[in-house]
Amino acid sequence: MSLGTLDAAAAYGRILSTGASKPAAAGSAAVEGGFGSLVENMIGGAATQMRAAESASAAQIAGKGDLVDVVTAIGAAEQALETVVAVRDKVVNAYQDIMRMQI
């Protein structure tokens, strides 16, 4: 992962943190805010994991971190980002299918 990717994820996280208040629990997110809240929590979680990976790699560069922690944090961040991208692709495909329906 490049540093630019991590910077972009951090920027998205900052944008999300300036938005509306977040629900207290992930289970109640689907009930309280619906799909939009679920997506917001998903993106926020991915951004948090990317920030954790960035800080772990910075600690490793400074000589204060463990390589295993860095690899684990980066793997978790990659998995979260891939999940968000997969959900986005499914939503886009569903929207395109709806737009192709005849009335």
What digits encode the pLDDT tens for the residues 69-85?
889 999 999 999 999 99
CB 25 within 8 A of CB 33: no
> Which residues 6+ apart lie within 8 Å of 23 measured at CB?
29, 32, 33, 37, 41
Quickly state the pLDDT bin for 8 (edges 50, 70, 90): low
What digits encode the pLDDT tens for the residues 15-70?
666 654 444 444 544 457 788 888 889 899 999 999 999 999 999 999 888 888 88
